């Protein structure tokens, strides 16, 4: 079986996660995503922080309906990493900035050569960094 190509925005125009603490959750993503070359592109109004490499792709926001943010059971957002070292750095930065461990860096059995790490952001959203080894 050929390894699947992991790339940026081939499927989604953007992805959003909700939070009730925009500053705290944005600080978490500033640190964790920087390890993957994804930068904070700034605020969009008072309730959204935008992230991307060359264009906006990931938004951290306060829900526009005014209701509390919530997370989904079984939902995970996966960010592409170039190397296992980036996956390791992502996990460490996430934990050092208010995240909780959902799976230490290491090989994953669901695809040959897969390597990932999982954390929950301060709002409870489950995210991972994912790459393939040779």
Beta bridge partners of 126: 120
Residue 14 in 3-state DSSP? coil
Specify the long-range contacts of residues 80-83, CB closer than 8 Å, at least 24 apart: 80/6, 80/7, 80/8, 80/36, 80/129, 80/130, 80/131, 81/36, 81/129, 81/130, 81/131, 82/36, 82/37, 82/131, 83/131
Which residues, including other chains, have CB under 8 Å from residue 123's CB and lie 6 or more apart?
A: 17, 18, 19, 20, 21, 25, 69, 71
Q: pTM for this structure?
A: 0.84
pLDDT tens track of the chain, all 134 residues?
Answer: 444 444 444 567 789 999 999 999 999 999 999 999 999 999 999 999 999 999 999 999 999 899 999 988 778 999 999 999 999 999 999 999 999 999 999 999 878 899 999 999 999 999 999 999 97
Q: Which residues contact 5 (CB under 8 A, 6 or more apart)?
A: none
What sections of the chain are H helices per DSSP? 22-34, 84-96
CA-based nearest residue to 35, from 112, 72, 88? 88
Backbone Cα Rg of the chain:
14
Q: Domain-by-domain residue ranges, the chain?
A: 15-57+75-132
Q: Which CATH number fits domain 15-57+75-132: 3.30.565.10, 3.10.180.10, 3.90.79.10, 3.40.1110.10?
A: 3.10.180.10
């Amino acid at each position: 079986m050929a390894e699947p190509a992991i790339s940026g925005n081939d499927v989604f125009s953007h992805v959003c996660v909700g939070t009730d603490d925009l500053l705290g959750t944005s600080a978490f993503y500033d640190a964790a995503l920087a390890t993957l070359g994804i930068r904070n592109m700034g605020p969009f109004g008072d309730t959204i922080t935008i992230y991307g490499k060359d264009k906006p792709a990931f938004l951290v926001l306060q829900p526009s309906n005014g209701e509390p943010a919530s997370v989904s059971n079984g939902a995970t957002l996966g960010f592409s990493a170039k190397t296992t070292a980036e996956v390791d750095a992502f996990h460490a930065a996430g934990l050092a900035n208010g995240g909780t461990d959902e799976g230490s860096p290491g090989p994953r059995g669901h695809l040959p050569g897969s390597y990932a790490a999982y954390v929950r952001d301060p709002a409870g959203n489950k995210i991972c960094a994912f790459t393939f080894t040779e």
